[in-house]
Amino acid sequence: EVQLVESGGGLVQPGGSLRLSCAASGFTFSDHYIDWVRQAPGKGLEWVGRSRNKANSYTAEYAASVNGRFTISRDDSKNSLYLQMNSLKTEDTAVYYCARDVGGRSSGYYFDYWGQGTLVTVSS
Amino acid sequence: DIQMTQSPSSLSASVGDRVTITCRASQGISTWLAWYQQKPEKAPKSLIYAASSLQSGVPSRFSGSGSGTDFTLTISSLQPEDFATYYCQQYFSYPLTFGGGTKVEIK
């Protein structure tokens, strides 16, 4: 059974840092791209960024709103994805989900499984 | 960035009704479109990819269509468990973008 479990959320002051984790199981983690998507309270879904797999050199893509402040990394030996969030702003307050990608170059990469999310609150 | 516009933003329907939600992309995305269902306080669930392909385990009452800029999600006979918010998403180019959501409520 595919499972994605996020952790690391909590309350942090503006300007602070936080590191989220996404622990995966039930599939070959190293084969897959994995994304972060967030949802501010009462709002819609917003893509945060993507980690490509080993075959694609673990490169990452980011939304403009987090580029330069957030960093996605992964440890395939631990089946885990990370989101290092620095210089946090109040507008980063959201539930953060990780999502597994499937697909390929010819069909595109889309989400099939999502984690349950972890809440990040940025407030003084 | 590609803007995704969903309509309506909300609708009221009865069990058994046929429901259609539309999604328009600000530029052509071929069929690189997905649909997700989200219930309150829950993670999104993947329904459809490639505009019309059902994810494994998704009931056949859900269907998707469209290509280019105009897409639809149809629920052929609304069931009690289908009351939720639905989002479209393009994965044609970065940044990946979502529609604003359509909340399907009980009439």
| CB within 8 Å of A77: residues ≥ 6 apart | none
Is the CB of B25 inside 8 Å of chain A's CB atoms? Answer: no
Under DSSP, is residue B8 helix (H, G, I), strand (E, B) or coil?
coil
Instruction: Render pLDDT for B45-77 as a digit per residue (tens, 0 to 9).
Output: 999 999 999 999 999 999 999 999 999 999 999
Instruction: Give residue ranges of A with CB < 8 Å to any B CB.
Output: 35, 37, 44-47, 50, 61, 63-64, 97, 99, 103, 107-117
DSSP conformation class of A25: E
Residue, of A105 and B7, whose pLDDT is higher: B7
| pLDDT tens digit at each of 124 positions of chain A | 999 999 999 999 999 999 999 999 999 999 999 999 999 999 999 999 999 999 999 999 999 999 999 999 999 999 999 999 999 999 999 999 999 999 888 888 999 999 999 999 999 9
Q: Is the pLDDT of residue B98 over 90?
A: yes
Please calculate the CA angle A111-A114-B55 and round it to the nearest 5 degrees.
50
